[in-house]
Amino acid sequence: MIKLIASDIDGTLIPYGETGLSQKLFPLLHGLREAGILFCPASGRQYHSMRRLFAPVAEEVYFLCENGAILYGPAAREEDAPILARTPMPRGEALDLAQAIVDLPGCELLVSGDNTSYVCRCPREYTDYLRENKGNNVTEVEGVEQLPREILKVSAYCPGGTDGPQEALGPRWSHLGMAAAGPDWVDFTLANKGTGIRTLCKALGIAPQEVAAFGDNWNDRAMLQAVGEPWLMSAADPELRAQFPRQCADVLTVLEEILRDRL
């Protein structure tokens, strides 16, 4: 029996090219909660961005942020949200990786602290994109040595595609959990969505087999492998589709089916 549902956001709950959630989602989440099923958005986004998206239900849901590097519990106010788990990266390696991304042509750096995105020597259009499109708290620094003491995630924004940056960064940095996170992002974290979901399950006393999860990309793979009912978006990479035969084109339709089965 499903007791917890986790879902990626970009490419899963929000189609690529769009910026907001369907308003039909929130009544569904209320109904699932009343039926005893908890919900957790699971994303590479920061907490501030995710909470803004899920404002109507922010007091009811858990938030797995930065690809599992930090996990927040429900709260009425953003500043009061309890941190249930945090997995920082080794600072020296994270700084070296950040510098490598700064030096990589065609890419921009994003470094994630608890609830802030740090960027370095980037064009104004990029910071505007992070603030206005993604809804992030953003701080600009002049050099990587000014980045925060605890670094949760290091990302490369790759508007030209992720294949080249992964080939350039992978030989040295793949051990830091390198994964494509959409058509234009490559993320590096020690944690992943799978470890985040297992941590949340332990905190809630829920078995991973009692969890359904939705995802669309390689940074969702560990989460889908960790749960009893994994759902992959039908537009995902063919290699992922071969690994996860349970697929859907629309998450809300599956959520409606889960709720009907529970009632």
Eight-class DSSP state of 62? -
Of the pLDDT bands very low, low, confident and very high (cuts 50, 70, 90), residue 262 is: confident
DSSP SS3 for 35: coil
Spatial separation of the C-alpha atoms in residues 71 and 20, rounded to whole Å: 22
pLDDT of res. 29: 97
pLDDT, one tens digit per residue, over 71-126 is 999 999 999 999 999 999 999 999 999 999 999 999 999 999 999 999 999 999 99
Give this prediction's pTM: 0.91
pLDDT, one tens digit per residue, over 188-247 is 999 999 999 999 999 999 999 999 999 999 999 999 999 999 999 999 999 999 999 999
pLDDT, one tens digit per residue, over 20-38 is 999 999 999 999 999 999 9
Instruction: Show the domains of the chain with their CATH numbers.
Output: 4-86+192-262 (3.40.50.1000), 91-188 (3.30.1240.10)
pLDDT, one tens digit per residue, over 138-168 is 999 999 999 999 999 999 999 999 999 999 9
Helix and strand tally (H, E) in the chain? 9, 14
pLDDT of res. 181: 87
DSSP SS3 for 162: coil
Spatial separation of the C-alpha atoms in residues 227 and 209, rounded to whole Å: 5
Spatial separation of the C-alpha atoms in residues 42 and 237, rounded to whole Å: 19
Listed in order, strand segments (DSSP E) in 38-95 are 38-41, 63-65, 70-72, 83-86
Spatial separation of the C-alpha atoms in residues 106 and 104, rounded to whole Å: 6
**Residue 48 clears pLDDT 90, i.e. is over it:** yes
Contact of 169 with 155, CB cutoff 8 Å: no
**Residue 174 clears pLDDT 90, i.e. is over it:** yes
Contacts of 128 (CB under 8 A, 6+ apart): none
Residue 141 CA, distance from chain mean position: 24
pLDDT of res. 255: 97
Contact of 50 with 61, CB cutoff 8 Å: no
